[in-house]
Chain A
Amino acid sequence: EAQVTQNPRYLITVTGKKLTVTCSQNMNHEYMSWYRQDPGLGLRQIYYSMNVEVTDKGDVPEGYKVSRKEKRNFPLILESPSPNQTSLYFCASTQDRGTDTQYFGPGTRLTVL
């Protein structure tokens, strides 16, 4: 089954404690991205990757890092989380970044205390 998986699905942490949210897709897609969803703001792109070792900033990259060492994986790293990073995070993948459907993961609800 074609899918995008994320782990963990729920996470409560404290300010400053480094965390990683994993994302994996089994569709051999080249393009992957991370979004955060906040009430009234919709989805905002954090980072995207056009292929292995190729990443770039989206609209709200501050406080986040990503890596793309393998095609299927695109982890999101918060080196020093802060309460304003409390949000719902989605990973997505697509074959053609401009025209193709994006396939979304189930989301990770992060709370930073």
Chain B
Amino acid sequence: AQSVSQHNHHVILSEAASLELGCNYSYGGTVNLFWYVQYPGQHLQLLLKYFSGDPLVKGIKGFEAEFIKSKFSFNLRKPSVQWSDTAEYFCAVNAYSSASKIIFGSGTRLSIRP
């Protein structure tokens, strides 16, 4: 069965620190990959997505993610975080074989100290 793992459940950083959130998936075929963010009290919104082409994807608010097929990973990065990045981050994977289903990871809560 397909699954998505986010090993960091809660990450605490100071402002201006660099961020990397891990995401690994289990599926050997072609995948579409997403990162969603949920700010406190708000609904989920898309940060970035990868379908094909350049494996380094840039999203909103200075976030980027790199798809490494050999490692089944799609880690989210930001060189310098801000207090406003405090949120919960979800990785999601859609496998071409089951186009109707998108599997979400369990989420990583990011807390930024001012």
Interface residues of A (CB under 8 A from B): 31, 35, 40-45, 48, 50, 56, 58-59, 90, 92, 97-99, 101-102, 104-107
Contact = CB atoms under 8 A, between A and B. Distances in A.
B43 A97 contact: no
Contact of B43 (A44, A45, A104): A104
Interface string B84-114: 0000001010101001111011110000000
Given A42-B107, A98-B94, A106-B42, 17 more contacts: A31-B100, A40-B106, A42-B6, A42-B106, A43-B44, A43-B92, A43-B104, A45-B101, A48-B100, A56-B100, A97-B99, A97-B100, A98-B96, A101-B34, A101-B46, A101-B49, A102-B34
A97 B46 CA distance: 15
Given A40-B9, A43-B90, A97-B99, A102 B46 contact: yes
Contacts of A106: 42-43
Given A42-B106, A104-B44, A104-B45, A98 B99 contact: yes
Given A40-B9, A43-B90, A90-B43, A102 B102 contact: yes
Interface residues of B, number: 25
A66 to B, nearest CB: 14
B32 interface: yes
Contacts of A99: 32, 51, 94
A92 B104 CA distance: 13
Nearest to B105: A42
Contacts of B104: 35, 42-44
12 contacts: A31-B100, A40-B9, A40-B106, A41-B106, A42-B6, A45-B101, A48-B100, A92-B44, A99-B32, A101-B46, A102-B36, A107-B43
